[in-house]
Amino acid sequence: MADDLEPERHGAEPQHPSPTIWPFAFAGGIALLLVGIVVSWPVAIIGAVIAVIFGFLWIREATREVRVAPPEPEREEQVSELAVEEGADPSEPDRYPRSVFLEGATLGLGALIGGIVTLPALGFMVLPAFVGQEYEPVDIGPLENFPENSYVTATFVYKKGEGRLGRRTAFIRNNGLVNEVPSMTIISSRCVHMGCPTQPQGPPGGEPTEIRTSSGPVSLQAVQASGFGCPCHGGAYDAEGNRTAGPPVRALDRYEYSIRNGSLILGTPFSVGEVEGEGAKARIKAYRLADPGQHVDGIEQIFYPYVP
């Protein structure tokens, strides 16, 4: 008789879900997504795809017992003797188990607390990279301060309220008129290897001149530049900003410009892969401003973070 009851006792044991790796893979996808938001958008997309795929598999595995077809309802006359003996009412509906309620409430409260703690920290970490990144136009002064076919080193206020850290330097050459429009070559002094300030290779053409424009003080100094060099790691560039030696990975960055009421206005800086030609005949392809050390063309560019 005991042997006959053993199969029933074994079948009545609760069936626990089998272990699965989906939660760990889902967590890995979320971590990759958060890292990618800061480092590289392609990495963030890959993390999002991984999180979606394994999140779906996790939900599918967790709800497997719920999604199966319910058993056929037993007839009322087949109420178990045990329920009758304990005085249970066969017509009373099943109640929501207290353990399930406590489990759901604990998970929900934990998720709420985790969101309250994580979201502000994540916002302070990520949002600064996306806000306050606009470039305001900078008035460099009248065009008469920039003689044709000669470089002038201009140091100006880039961001007000930041002291010396808010100052930038550009190398400006007036290429003359092209179709009655002034052509200017405006090269950033920031080395594209590690960001050190480059220096013109040539003697200065006189003493610095201090002027004041609508954007603030500007220091101008003529220079006989045959090229530019970086004193930090030996990077060298020609007179158009092309890399000629050393570790830099591309040409020097440049500035957009416009002429307003006879004054030269610097606009948004942009990156350059390589310059073809010289002066007004130079041909360049502009790229969104990249950080030092980043490639902007070729297959190498996909391995570098996106700059917001």
Query: Residue 131: which pLDDT band, with cuts at 50, 70 and 90?
Result: low
Q: Which of the pair, 307 or 137, is modelled with greater confidence?
A: 137
For residues 298 and 306, the answer to whether their CB atoms sit within 8 Å is: no
Check residue 91 and give its pLDDT: 56
The structure's pTM equals 0.60
Which pLDDT belongs to residue 82? Answer: 47
Q: Read off the pLDDT of residues 280-289 as tens digits, 9 standing for 90 and up.
A: 899 998 998 8
CA separation, residue 47 to residues 26, 31, 181 (Å): 9, 7, 49
Tokens 């006792």 found at: 9
- The answer to whether 240 and 259 are in contact (CB under 8 A) is no
116 against 39, higher pLDDT: 116
Model pLDDT, residue 267? 92
Q: Please write the tens of the pLDDT for every residue from 148-205.
A: 999 999 999 887 666 666 789 999 999 998 888 899 999 999 999 999 999 999 888 8
12 pLDDT more than 80 = no
Looking at residue 256, what is its pLDDT?
94
**Residue recorded with tokens 């603030």:** 216
Q: Is the pLDDT of residue 31 over 80?
A: yes
Contact status, residue 187 vs residue 254, Cβ threshold 8 Å: yes
120 to each of 109, 110, 115, 215, how far by Cα in Å?
18, 16, 8, 36
Nearest to 251 by CA among 270, 267, 224: 270
Residues with Cβ < 8 Å from 279, sequence gap 6 or more?
A: 149, 173, 175, 183, 185
Q: Is the pLDDT of residue 259 over 80?
A: yes
Statement: residue 279 has pLDDT above 50: yes
Percentage of the residues of the chain whose pLDDT score is greater than 90: 35
* pLDDT tens, residue by residue, 50-104: 888 888 887 877 777 666 655 665 555 554 554 445 555 555 555 667 677 677 7
Comparing CA positions, the residue from 288, 280, 293 lying closest to residue 307 is 288
pLDDT tops 60 at residue 17 = no
Give pLDDT, residue 240.
95
- Determine the Cα–Cα distance for residues 295 and 144; give it in Å rounded to an integer: 36
pLDDT at res. 297: 84
Residue 45 has pLDDT above 50, yes or no: yes
> Stretch 14-32: mean pLDDT, rounded?
72
What pLDDT score was predicted for residue 147?
92
pLDDT for 2 equals: 47
